[in-house]
Amino acid sequence: MNPKKPDDFKSAIGTLNLSKTGKEKVTSELCDRIPPASKRLHYHGKKQWAIVTKQLFNNGQLRVVDLQQLEVMCRQLDLYWQADEMINKHGVFSERTNQKTGSTSIVKSPALAVMKESALVFNQIADRYGISPVGRIKMPKGNVAPDDPLARL
């Protein structure tokens, strides 16, 4: 095992990460208001955006740096429901004809894979922001600034 390099050496070669040494606080700006939903979001995504951003804002946890990830999460919800609509319209299975042989086979709708993937991504992001039951347990409680020394007690 290689010995740990001293901080002054890491600093000299440009690889020192101050946030890991505890010498510099890494902070991100809290949102001063609830931002409107992106125009890229559709019905379900906009509804989720309103719920999530309000919850995080009221808990003092809505940060500017998180907005894009929250938008991705809401977009995944839109994709899930769009795929659900396709399945409702065209069914779970469809017939495919092999053009070379002329034989037909029954295949699953590609929308099922879209639903599965979008639900997975949505849930992964939701856990990080306390939107799922497990995520809520992990989130700090109350409207406490992250650099507040009382928050550590």
- The per-residue pLDDT for range 71-110, each reduced to its tens digit, is 999 999 999 999 999 999 999 998 888 888 989 999 999 9
Rounded Cα gap, residues 106 and 134, in angstroms: 39
Burial profile 75-89: b = 16 or more Cβ within 10 angstroms, e = fewer = bbbbbbeebbebbee
Q: How far is CA 11 from CA 3, 5, 7, 16, 21, in A?
A: 17, 10, 6, 5, 11
Rounded Cα gap, residues 120 and 72, in angstroms: 12
Give the pLDDT score at 145.
Answer: 47
